[in-house]
Amino acid sequence: MTVSTVRVRPPEGVRDQIRRWRSLPDARLLAFVALLTVLAGLAVPLAGFLLAAGLAVVALLAVVAWRPILATYLYLLALPFITGMKRGMLIPQVRLNEALLGLLLVGACLGGYLRLLRGERLVPRFTALDGPLVAFVVLSTAWPLAWLMLRGEAPLFSDMTAVFPVVKLVALFLLVRLTVHTDAQVLRCVRLIGWTGAVVALIAILQTLRFGPVVAMLTALWPDESGLVVERGTSLLGSPIATGDYIVISLALVVSCGLRGLLHPWERLVLGCVLGTGVLAAGQFSTWIAALVAAVVLLRRHPEARRRAVRFLPLAGLALLVGAPAFIGRLSGFGDGFGVPRSWLGRWDNLTTFYLPELGGFRFLLGVSPNSVLQAPETWREQIFLESGYLQFLWVGGVPLLLAFCWLSVVVLRTTRRLGARGDAVGACAAALEIAWWMVLVLSLIDIHIVLRGAGDLLFTLLAITARRSDDR
């Protein structure tokens, strides 16, 4: 779905209001926002946190209504630093990034309404990607809840929250789709993803090197996972799997832009070194598999990259040296006497004991439940997670959802292969999306990576940018 701007004649009753609104210069609106920001700062000691937060929210809405593209920029800038916050940590039953996305969407919609008053209208134009995407979304959200009710069961709150990540990703998709229009805006999004990804990688590197302040900060945020904090690169995403996916997707985007000459040489060098080291620092087997998949797809699409890669071998050695602690720590899991890491044995035991029996009796045809998290019968753990992406599709939406994902994958890969030949920022995003989607296809054998925190947001951001140009020839 792409939008174009069409001039229409507004109703008579609002023309004076439109003229007054048009006469408001940007400087006055900015002054109003600045005043609200100052008042928010003063309100903290004088009137308390709630009033200050309210003024900050109004200022945010005003800025986004003034320039809706800022909503996308602000979300991408904050994404890797707030997404890992646990649900309900600051706002009851809501993650901080979900609350921010909701506010940004309200501001962007307000800006769209004001432009409608000015005589502009958004006319949607559907593209080849929209059909399979709609099918995937409906079968991921509405169908599991409907099938649950058709079986005579009332959906629980946990069922609602289980399908919410897909709803959030679709909302982000629409925000990016409707606000990112020009190549310059696409390149700014690329830089935001690349540099915030580098910060994520740097945090992961420092924590695996056991840098005191970073370890103390992460331990304070996740006290229950203090052991994991020093063994693997969890970063502020709070998960080594999510951190690894975020770093690999960011690295794929940086390399795709570098091959097209869209970034400064020093920018490519700094981002490549930090992100490449972060791949090892994540300390996750899935991350290393993802990096291998990314390399294969990249070298197959860009054979000339093989010659350039030779020049970066010394930097690769440096990255290996810095990321070695996490890498060696993970490999040591093969020496515990079990032949493979214990976590792999636990994963297999969960599948064969709790999930595969429930999928039997042809229950996999239409799905078992929207929520794949089970309550553990043991006392040493509280919950059990389904660690297989394709089984997750069957558990949530049955064969229809799995087929919808396959349909979406075929269209995405076909579109990205065509658009990836472009030499601009959109071509770089399409090439990175192709790499990321192949990662999802491979890694879904072991986890549900398409909705992974942070990485799923990047995936749908790239999908929105690519979808807007999917009908271009």
Nearest Cα residue to 247 out of 281, 305, 201: 201
**Would you state the pLDDT for residue 364?**
93
In this prediction, residues 276-297 reach a mean pLDDT of: 87
Residue 289 contacts residue 257 (beta carbons within 8 Å): no
Q: Token digits for 252?
A: 């794929």
Taking the C-alpha atoms of residue 240 and residue 247, their distance in angstroms, rounded to an integer, is 10
Residue 236 contacts residue 244 (beta carbons within 8 Å): no
Q: Token digits for 118?
A: 């000015």
Q: What share of the chain in percent tops pLDDT 90?
A: 47
Residue 331 has pLDDT above 90, yes or no: no
Q: Token digits for 363?
A: 């229950």
pTM: 0.87
Strands 2-7 and 374-375 turn out to be: unpaired
Residue 146 has pLDDT above 90, yes or no: yes
DSSP-derived letter for residue 9 is P
pLDDT band at 137 (very low <50, low <70, confident <90, very high): very high
**Would you state the pLDDT for residue 310?**
62
Residue 282 contacts residue 204 (beta carbons within 8 Å): yes
In this prediction, residues 293-297 reach a mean pLDDT of: 92
**Would you state the pLDDT for residue 21?**
41
pLDDT band at 7 (very low <50, low <70, confident <90, very high): very low
Residue type, 78: A
Nearest Cα residue to 328 out of 236, 248, 232, 202: 232
**Would you state the pLDDT for residue 27?**
47
Taking the C-alpha atoms of residue 288 and residue 327, their distance in angstroms, rounded to an integer, is 10
**pLDDT, averaged across the chain:** 83
Residue 41 has pLDDT above 60, yes or no: no
pLDDT tens digits, residue range 73-99? 999 999 999 998 888 777 877 889 999
Residue 105 has pLDDT above 50, yes or no: yes
**Would you state the pLDDT for residue 23?**
43
pLDDT band at 321 (very low <50, low <70, confident <90, very high): low
**Would you state the pLDDT for residue 86?**
83
Instruction: Give the residue, 8 or 45, on which the prediction is more confident.
Output: 45
Taking the C-alpha atoms of residue 396 and residue 19, their distance in angstroms, rounded to an integer, is 52
Taking the C-alpha atoms of residue 393 and residue 370, their distance in angstroms, rounded to an integer, is 10
Residue 39 has pLDDT above 70, yes or no: no
pLDDT tens digits, residue range 388-422? 999 999 999 999 999 999 999 999 999 999 999 88
**Would you state the pLDDT for residue 159?**
93
Residue 326's CB is within 10 A of a number of other CB atoms, namely 26
Residue 29 contacts residue 107 (beta carbons within 8 Å): no
pLDDT band at 8 (very low <50, low <70, confident <90, very high): very low
E strand or H helix that includes residue 422: none
pLDDT band at 25 (very low <50, low <70, confident <90, very high): very low
- If you average pLDDT over each of 133-147, 302-316, 352-366, which comes out highest? 133-147
pLDDT tens digits, residue range 153-193? 999 989 999 999 999 999 999 999 999 989 999 999 999 99
Nearest Cα residue to 279 out of 303, 315, 308: 315
pLDDT tens digits, residue range 218-270? 888 887 665 667 677 888 998 889 999 999 999 999 999 999 999 998 999 89
E strand or H helix that includes residue 176: helix 157-179
